[in-house]
Amino acid sequence: MWRRDRFTNAELDAAPLLHIDPKPELQVFGGPRVGTTYDVTDACKVCGAGARQTSALLINGEELSALEGRRAASTYYSDLIVEERLAGQLASSGITGLSFRGVFAAFESQVRFQLPWRQLCPDKTLPPMSPRSTGIARHKHCVCGRSGVTGMNEQPTRLVYRARDLAEMQDVNLTWEWFGEPRFNGDVSDALFPYPWFLVTPKVWRIFQGAGVTEFEWIPIRLEES
C-alpha cells in the first residue's frame, strides 16, 4: 500500500508547484517500444536520461478502451495526455511553458491512426531538487546522476526545492531527475527510458479541476528554509 499525504483544495491552491502523480490503474502503454522515436545524441549512454522525443506519441492501440470517457491519462512512463478540447482550454489559458504533440494509436499490424488527444510537452526543466526531499530512494543511482530515483512504498514523497531554483519556473515544468527503473542498451525501440516528473502551478491544477479530471493526484512541493 502506497502511503500518501492528503491535501485540501486550499493547500493545493497555495502551493508554489504541484507534482502530478497519475493514478497507476489509469495508465496506458506507450513510448519507445510502441514506435515513438527519440534522439539520444545527448542522452546518458547507460540509462537514456535526457532522451528527446522526436515524433508524435504512440500508444498501444489495444488499450484504447482505457481512454473512453476520460479527459486525461498517462502512459506508464508519465507521458501525460489530454483529450483535444481540454488541450484547447490549456492552450488558450495563457499558461506558460507548455506545447503539444499529437497522439497516435499503434497496432502490431503497423496500422496507425491519430487520436483526438494531445500530449503535454513542457519546455522547461528545473534545476535538481533539494537533498532535503524525502520519500524518494536513490538505490540505483546512475553515473549520470539523473536517473535511478524512485518513489517509496513506506514514506509519502515530499519534494523540496530551494526557492532560488524556481526563479525561472514556468506554469508547466519537468524535474531534472528522471524516475523509474530504466533499461537501455542503445536500441531505442527496445528501451525502457526513465522519465521526469511534471511540476505545475496551481493555475494548471485549477483548469484540470474545472474540467472534472480525477485521473491525477496533485502533491505540493515544499520550499527549503534558508
Per CB under 5 A, residues contacting Zn ion are 44, 46-47, 49, 142, 144, 147
Q: Which C-beta is closer to Zn ion: that of 195 or that of 218?
A: 195
Q: Which C-beta is closer to Zn ion: that of 12 or that of 144?
A: 144
Q: Which C-beta is closer to Zn ion: that of 28 or that of 44?
A: 44
Q: Which C-beta is closer to Zn ion: that of 194 or that of 220?
A: 194
What is the Cα 166 distance to its own chain's centre? 18
Helix (H) or strand (E) holding 69: none
- Strands 57-60 and 98-106, how do they pair? parallel
Q: How far is the CB of 148 from Zn ion (least distance, A)?
A: 7
Q: How far is the CB of 141 from Zn ion (least distance, A)?
A: 9
Q: How far is the CB of 145 from Zn ion (least distance, A)?
A: 7
User: Which of 87, 86, 66, 68 has its CA nearest to residue 23?
Assistant: 66
Q: How far is the CB of 143 from Zn ion (least distance, A)?
A: 6
Residue 184 to residue 180: CA distance in whole angstroms: 12
